[in-house]
Structure 1
Amino acid sequence: MIFKVLYQSGADEAPVREETKSMYVEAESVREVRLKLAERDYNIEHVQELSENHLNYEKKSENFEVEKL
């Protein structure tokens, strides 16, 4: 499954919409995504499992790239 992760670069910063970044991660569950990203200093706002239709839409974006963790 592919998950879309919305996050802030620094875990100690308050979330600001304009600075929210996204990445795509392949994993079996939301928990696995969070475990894979635990070493990084991210403030994870939301992890969303992408449906097939949503994934196909995201793939059209020039910024689409699945992170290799």
Structure 2
Amino acid sequence: MTFKVYYQPDATKRPVRENTQSLYIEADSEAQALLLVEENTDYNIEFVEQLDDKALEYEKQNPNFKITKF
């Protein structure tokens, strides 16, 4: 399954909506996706969203779309 993870790049600062970034990750569950990002980054994770087929096709239209591997 593919998940979109919304995060703040600096966990030491308070979250600001304009600084929210996202990455895409393959995982078996939402919990596993969250754990992978937590273990491999210092990001302040805001939200993890599972992408259905339609949403994934839409996201793939973005030229910056890339599956993150850890």
TM-score (norm 2): 0.92
Give, as a single letter, the amino acid of the residue that structure 2 aligns with 1:17.
R
User: Once the two structures are aligned, what percentage of the paired residues are identical?
Assistant: 48
**Pairs within 5 Å for 1:1-69:** 1-39=1-39, 40-69=41-70
Name the CA distance, whole Å, in 2 between partners of 1:56 and 1:37: 23
1:17-38: CA deviation from partner (whole Å, max 9, x where unpaired)? 1111100000011110111112
Deviations 1:9-68 (A, max 9, x none): 111211111111100000011110111112311100000000100000000001100001
Equivalent residue of 1:55, what SS? helix
Aligned partner letter, 1:47: V
- One-letter amino acid of the structure 1 residue matched with residue 61 of structure 2: K
Runs of 4+ in 1 over 4 A off after TM superposition: none
In the superposition, the TM-score normalised over structure 1's length comes to 0.94
Match of 1:38, SS state, is: helix
Q: Name the amino acid aligned to 1:52.
A: D
Root-mean-square deviation (CA, aligned residues, Å) is 0.8
Structure 2 residues without counterparts, runs of 5 or longer: none
Paired positions, count: 69
| Distance (whole Å) between structure 1 residues aligned to residue 52 and residue 14 of structure 2 | 29
